[in-house]
Chains A and B, each alone.
Chain A
């Protein structure tokens, strides 16, 4: 069965520090991968996506993610976080022909001033 694991439920980093959020997937087909962000009280907004090609993808708000097929991972990174990055982050996976996306449980990011 398809699954997505975000090993870190909650991460705290200081403003200006670098960030990496982990995502591992289990999927039989070639995956389509996504990161979404949910600010408090808001819906989910797409940060970036990977379908094929260059394994390092750039997204909005200065985020990037790298697809590593050998590790079944799609980790999200940002060189320097801002207080406004405090939110919950969801990794999701789909595949050609799939009827729906599968989401991870989310990682809540707290920023220390």
Chain B
């Protein structure tokens, strides 16, 4: 099925460990986004990529890096995980641009202990 695929679905890390969250879309969308969702905080934008070859910071970029590997893939890296990064992470993509809405992945639940 066409859509946005995120891996892994669940992950537990120890403080200080690193990991990369993967996101791939097969809809030929130009724009891709990484959000985190925390109770009572809604969705907060971490980074986004308006088109292949570009990336920009969102509201909460500290502690994260991203790579737009190609048009399909947009990865999120935690270099040194902290308990404050315990969250659910969502990747999204948009074909016509953000104003026309997103397609979301099913999320990655990350726990940092």
Contact = CB atoms under 8 A, between A and B. Distances in A.
A101 B104 contact: no
A98 B98 contact: yes
B42 A104 contact: yes
A95 B98 CA distance: 8
Interface string A85-113: 00000100011111111011110000000
B101 interface: yes
B78 interface: no
Interface stretch (A11-19, A42-50, A56-64, A66-74): A42-50
Interface string B28-65: 00010100000011110100101000001010000000
A106 B42 contact: yes
A6 to B, nearest CB: 8
B51 to A, nearest CB: 10
Contacts, number: 59
B45 A32 contact: no
B71 to A, nearest CB: 17
Contact of B104 (A32, A43, A99): A43
| Contact size range, A | 20 to 34
Q: Which of A36, A42, A43, A100 has the most CB of B within 10 A?
A: A100
Interface string B72-113: 000000000000000000101000011111111111000000
A94 B99 contact: yes
A96 B99 CA distance: 6
Contacts of A103: 42-43
Nearest to A49: B101
A90 B35 CA distance: 14
Given A96-B99, A100-B48, A43 B105 contact: yes
B106 to A, nearest CB: 4
6 closest A-B pairs by beta carbon, nearest first, are A105-B42, A94-B99, A43-B104, A43-B106, A44-B104, A103-B43
10 contacts: A34-B101, A44-B90, A46-B103, A49-B101, A98-B98, A99-B31, A99-B48, A100-B98, A105-B41, A106-B43
